[in-house]
């Protein structure tokens, strides 16, 4: 269902849509509530001086639009839901690299934030190739059986973001995904697996074929990884957020506890190098279904989550 963008109610969103490359390529913003929330994000962006910086991407192709809104939504979350402030958009760092924004309670110790937004198209392309006909269809076409590896998206996001991370201030990577099943529609165990799982002998594929990025100190300049999801439930916009600490992070890059206070923080566990040391999710790693056929197990869990999402959508009034 396409929602007409009312220039009186949504003047900034209307300006973004005018002449945009993505116009009429999907049903964005689909619902009035989404249009209202995106307008709020754009007002926030304008008030903090970031609108001109983002406008070319917001008017670009659908994927660039969605990536830009993922970054804006994350900044809005920290300000509106966590009481932080945004001090600078696209802060520069070494080797010509830039982050998304600096934020925090005050300017004396800002947090360097990078946002990654892995999408469902990349999931399909990795599994079926760039020429997959599924890429020509909408994200949801009903309940379908499909292999998925959400922990791989977590590891890929860390690998892409890490080169930007400074070592002189707190650093934070936030994953605001648009996967077939959002990371926050799985249990926290899936992100745990992606970050904290050590490799296991005899495995050449899957999550046990390589160390997760928080197993050792190779990502020591990265503080925690945050995972956010903004969703529409009936007529309510809900923000969900989890933070996963890096046990090997440098002291300088740790994000203070008052940032996103009140939201769940997971500290994981260092890899079990000593006798008796077990990560919190060891029972999952020993689950016969995961070990025998991780793709099937992931597919089964994905089907459950998609079925639940479909049921919620059909319960929406007026849909």
Judged by average pLDDT, the poorest of 46-55, 118-127, 222-231, 276-285 is: 276-285
pLDDT in tens, 145-177: 455 678 888 999 999 999 999 999 999 999 999
Name the residue ranges covered by the structural domains of the chain. Answer: 1-60, 80-315
Q: What is the pLDDT of residue 96?
A: 74
E strand map for 183-235? 225-233
pLDDT at position 312 over 60: no
Distance separating alpha carbons of residues 172 and 258, to the nearest angstrom? 14
Q: Taking each helix axis from N to C terminus, what angle separates 51-58 and 62-76, rounded to the nearest 10 degrees?
A: 150
Burial letters 105-117, b for 16+ CB under 10 A, else e: eeeeebbbbbbbb
- DSSP-assigned letter for residue 316: S
Q: What percent of the chain has pLDDT over 70?
A: 73
d(CA 283, CA 266): 17
Percentage, residues of the chain above pLDDT 90: 56
> Tens of pLDDT along 200-243?
888 888 888 899 999 999 999 999 999 999 999 988 999 999 99
- The mean pLDDT value for 296-314 works out to 54
Least Cα distance to 93 among 26, 162, 43, 164 occurs for: 164
């Amino acid at each position: 269902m396409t929602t007409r963008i009312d220039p009186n109610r949504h003047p900034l969103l209307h300006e973004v849509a005018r002449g945009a490359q993505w116009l009429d390529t999907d049903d964005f913003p689909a619902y009035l509530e989404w249009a209202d929330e995106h307008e709020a994000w754009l007002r926030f962006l304008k008030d903090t001086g970031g609108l001109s910086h983002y406008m070319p991407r917001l008017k670009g192709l659908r994927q660039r639009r969605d990536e830009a809104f993922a970054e804006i939504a994350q900044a809005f979350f920290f300000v509106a839901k966590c009481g932080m402030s945004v001090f600078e958009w696209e802060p520069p760092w070494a080797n010509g690299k830039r982050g998304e924004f600096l934020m925090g309670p005050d300017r004396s110790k800002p947090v360097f934030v990078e946002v990654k937004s892995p999408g469902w198209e990349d999931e399909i392309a990795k599994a079926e190739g760039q020429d997959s006909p599924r890429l020509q269809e909408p994200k949801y076409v009903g309940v379908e059986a499909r292999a998925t590896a959400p922990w791989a998206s977590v590891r890929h996001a860390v690998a892409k973001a890490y080169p930007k991370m400074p070592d002189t201030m707190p650093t934070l990577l936030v994953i605001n995904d648009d996967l077939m099943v959002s990371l926050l529609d799985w249990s926290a165990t899936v992100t745990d697996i992606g970050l904290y799982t050590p490799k296991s002998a005899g495995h050449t594929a899957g999550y046990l074929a390589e160390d997760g990025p928080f197993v050792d100190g190779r990502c020591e300049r990265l503080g925690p990884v945050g995972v956010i999801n903004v969703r529409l439930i009936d007529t309510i916009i809900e923000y969900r957020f989890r933070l996963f600490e890096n046990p090997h992070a440098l002291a300088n890059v740790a994000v203070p506890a008052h940032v996103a206070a009140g939201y769940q923080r997971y500290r994981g566990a260092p890899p079990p190098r000593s006798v008796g040391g077990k990560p919190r999710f060891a029972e999952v790693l020993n689950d016969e279904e995961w070990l025998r056929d991780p793709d099937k197990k992931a597919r089964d869990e994905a089907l459950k989550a998609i079925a639940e999402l479909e049921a919620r959508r059909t319960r929406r009034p007026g849909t």
